[in-house]
């Protein structure tokens, strides 16, 4: 997109739009850019300096796909908040009531679930799926293709990976992203290596290196992570909050 394709819009100070943009009853701060196609639901808040619908700039050797978004464009759900300086790439879908923190970014075709919170400066790669009511703390990196179940906790500085070859992937090779099951808890500074699976209600202690699968309700610590016990019934999510209807 060139600067000449942008058009000013008087709904907010220094608001610029391009393409087809449908905006509901939305609160918009200053210096916001929205590139269509995009839909912003009623009650959403777009804070100062946010960019919605950004097209990715991909290197010739990138394995992140062709950068195309889906046919529906970028979607910001009702009541969602896009905080100051955040970037939402083309084709991403942000669920109702979600909060995308200051200076964080969500890559193309990624889905962020309802009422999920993405902490300040955190980033989610392309083609990822993050469930509902997930809490992601400051400075986390969720790699492209990762799958995060509902009600997961991701601590600050968590890093996930999807390339065992470290940029020596054969043409057409797959990038195995981690999977994290419902209500699992991942402590601060944890490293999730390519393709690992963390089971439902598992507990991964801070600073652990997860290099093999973690079973449901297993409690793991260390480098590499080892099983040290089981998550007790008194800690299970459904004890603290009934499951959604």
Give domain limits for the chain: 1-57+64-133, 137-231
Collapse the DSSP code of 243 into the 3-class scheme (helix H, G, I; strand E, B; otherwise coil) and give the result. coil
Q: With a cut of 60, say whether residue 151 has pLDDT above it.
A: yes
User: pLDDT per residue over 173-222, tens digit each?
Assistant: 889 999 999 999 999 999 999 999 999 999 999 999 999 999 999 999 99
Question: Rounded to whole angstroms, how far apart are CA atoms 177 and 143?
Answer: 7
Q: 1-57+64-133 — its CATH code?
A: 2.160.10.10
User: pLDDT per residue over 20-41, tens digit each?
Assistant: 999 999 999 999 999 999 999 9
Collapse the DSSP code of 114 into the 3-class scheme (helix H, G, I; strand E, B; otherwise coil) and give the result. coil
> For the chain, what is the mean pLDDT?
92
* The CATH fold of domain 137-231: UDP N-Acetylglucosamine Acyltransferase; domain 1 (2.160.10)
- What percent of the chain clears pLDDT 90, i.e. is strictly above it? 83
Collapse the DSSP code of 209 into the 3-class scheme (helix H, G, I; strand E, B; otherwise coil) and give the result. strand
Comparing 1-57+64-133 with 137-231, is the CATH topology the same? yes
pLDDT level of residue 239 (50, 70, 90 thresholds): confident
Q: What are the C-alpha distances in Å from 191 to residues 120, 194, 228?
A: 19, 10, 18
User: pLDDT per residue over 209-231, tens digit each?
Assistant: 999 999 999 999 999 999 999 99
Contacts 24+ apart (CB under 8 A), 104-110: 107/56, 107/64, 107/144, 108/56, 108/64, 108/65, 108/67, 108/68, 108/69, 109/65, 109/69, 109/70
Vertex 138 angle, CA 50 and 201, to 5° = 120
Question: Rounded to whole angstroms, how far apart are CA atoms 50 and 238?
Answer: 36
pLDDT at 6: 92
Q: Got the DSSP string for 74-100?
A: EEE-TT-EE-TT-EEETT-EE-TT-EE
């Amino acid at each position: 997109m060139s600067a000449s394709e942008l058009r000013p819009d008087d709904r907010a100070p220094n608001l610029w739009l391009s393409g087809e943009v449908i905006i509901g009853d939305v609160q918009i701060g200053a210096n916001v850019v929205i590139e269509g196609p995009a839909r912003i639901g009623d009650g959403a808040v777009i804070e100062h300096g946010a960019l919605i619908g950004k097209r990715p700039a991909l290197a010739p050797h990138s394995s992140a796909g062709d950068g195309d978004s889906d046919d529906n464009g970028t979607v910001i759900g009702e009541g969602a908040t896009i905080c100051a300086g955040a970037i939402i790439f083309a084709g991403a879908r942000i669920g109702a009531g979600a909060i995308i923190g200051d200076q964080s970014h969500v890559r193309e075709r990624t889905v962020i679930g309802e009422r999920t919170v993405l902490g300040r400066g955190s980033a989610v790669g392309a083609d990822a799926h993050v469930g509902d009511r997930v809490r992601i703390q400051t400075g986390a990196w969720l790699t492209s293709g990762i799958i995060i179940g509902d009600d997961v906790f991701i601590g600050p500085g968590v890093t996930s990976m999807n390339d065992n070859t470290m940029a020596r992937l054969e043409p057409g090779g797959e990038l195995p992203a981690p999977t994290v099951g419902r209500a699992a808890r991942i402590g601060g500074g944890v490293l999730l290596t390519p393709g690992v699976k963390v089971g439902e209600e598992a507990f991964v202690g801070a600073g652990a290196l997860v290099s093999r699968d973690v079973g449901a309700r297993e409690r793991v610590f260390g480098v590499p992570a080892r099983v040290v016990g089981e998550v007790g019934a008194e800690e299970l999510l459904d004890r603290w909050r009934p499951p959604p209807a």
